[in-house]
Structure 1
Amino acid sequence: MSTVAARSGQHAWEVGARAGYAASGLVHVLIGVLALQLALGSGEGSADQSGAFQQIAQTSFGALVLWVSVVAFVALGAWQAAAALSGAAGETSDRVKCGAKAVVYLVLAGTAFSVVQGGGSSSSGQTTSMTGQLMQAPAGRVLVGAVGVAVVVVGAYHVYKGLAKKFLEDLQRLPSGTTGRVARTAGVVGYAAKGVALGVVGVLFVVAALHANPDEASGLDGALQALREAPAGPVLLVLVALGLVAFGGYCAVRARFGRL
Structure 2
Amino acid sequence: MTAEPGGETAGSEAAQALEEAADSPGLDFLARSGFAVLALLHILIGSIAASVAFGGYGQAETSGAIGPLARSEPFGPLLMWAGCIACASLALWQFAEATVRVRRRPTRERLAKGISSGSLVFIYGSVAATFAAFAGGTGRDSGDRTSDFSAAVVASPAGAPALGAVGALILGIGAYFVFKGSARRFRPELKYFEDTRRGHLLNALGVAGHIGKGVALFLVGLLFIAAAVNHQPEESTGLDGSLQALLDYPFGAPLILVIAAGLICYGIFALARARWGRM
* Number of residues of Structure 1 aligned to a counterpart in Structure 2: 254
Q: Please point out which of 80, 85, 95 is paired with 2:94.
A: 80
Pairing partner for 1:135 from 154, 162, 167:
154
TM-score of the pair, normalised by structure 1? 0.91
- The answer as to 2:256 corresponding to 1:237 is yes
String of CA shifts for 1:214-246, please: whole Å, max 9, x gaps: 011111111121223233111111111111111
Aligned partner of 1:54 in structure 2 is 67
Q: Relative to structure 1, is the Cα distance of residues 175 and 12 closer, same or farther in structure 2, using a 3 angstrom cutoff?
A: farther
Change (3 A) 1:68 1:175: farther
Note the C-alpha offset of 1:176: 6.9
Taking the aligned partners of 2:176 and 2:44, their CA distance within structure 1 comes to 23
1:222 aligned to 2:241?
yes
Q: Which blocks of at least 5 consecutive residues in structure 2 are unaligned?
A: 1-19
1:1-260 to structure 2, matched below 5 A, reads: 10-43=24-57, 45-60=58-73, 61-88=75-102, 90=105, 91-174=110-193, 177-260=196-279
TM-score if structure 2 supplies the norm length? 0.85
CA contact (8 A) 2:102 2:113 kept: no
Question: 1:3 corresponds to which residue?
Answer: none
Percent identity over the alignment?
Answer: 35
| CA distance in structure 1 between the aligned counterparts of 2:237 and 2:134, rounded to whole angstroms | 19
- 1:166 shift after superposition: 1.0
When residues 50 and 176 of structure 1 are mapped into structure 2, their CA distance, relative to the original with a 3 A threshold, is farther
Give yes or no for contact 1:162–1:188 (8 Å, CA) kept in 2.
Answer: yes
User: Any idea what the Cα deviations from partners look like across 1:45-84, whole Å, max 9, x if unmatched?
Assistant: 3210011101322445443332221111111111111232
The range that moved more, 137-146 or 53-62, is 53-62
Q: Aligned partners of 2:23, 2:50: CA distance in 1, in Å? A: 41
Alpha-carbon separation, structure 1, partners of 2:117 and 2:215:
22
Q: Partners of 1:134 and 1:8 in 2: how far apart?
A: 34
RMSD (CA atoms) = 2.0
- Contact kept, 8 Å, 1:22 with 1:251, in 2: the verdict is yes
Q: Describe the shift of the 1:185–1:211 C-alpha distance in structure 2 as closer, same or farther (beyond 3 A).
A: same
5+ residue gaps, structure 1, are 1-5
Contact 1:200 1:227 in 2 (8 A): no
Deviates more, 1:52-61 or 1:157-166: 52-61
1:259 and 1:161 map into 2 onto residues whose CA distance is 17
| Partners of 1:171 and 1:22 in 2: CA distance | 14
Asked if 2 retains the 8 angstrom alpha-carbon contact of 1:33 and 1:241, the reply is yes
CA–CA separation in structure 2 for the residues paired with 1:59 and 1:176: 42
Q: Secondary structure at the match of 1:139?
A: coil
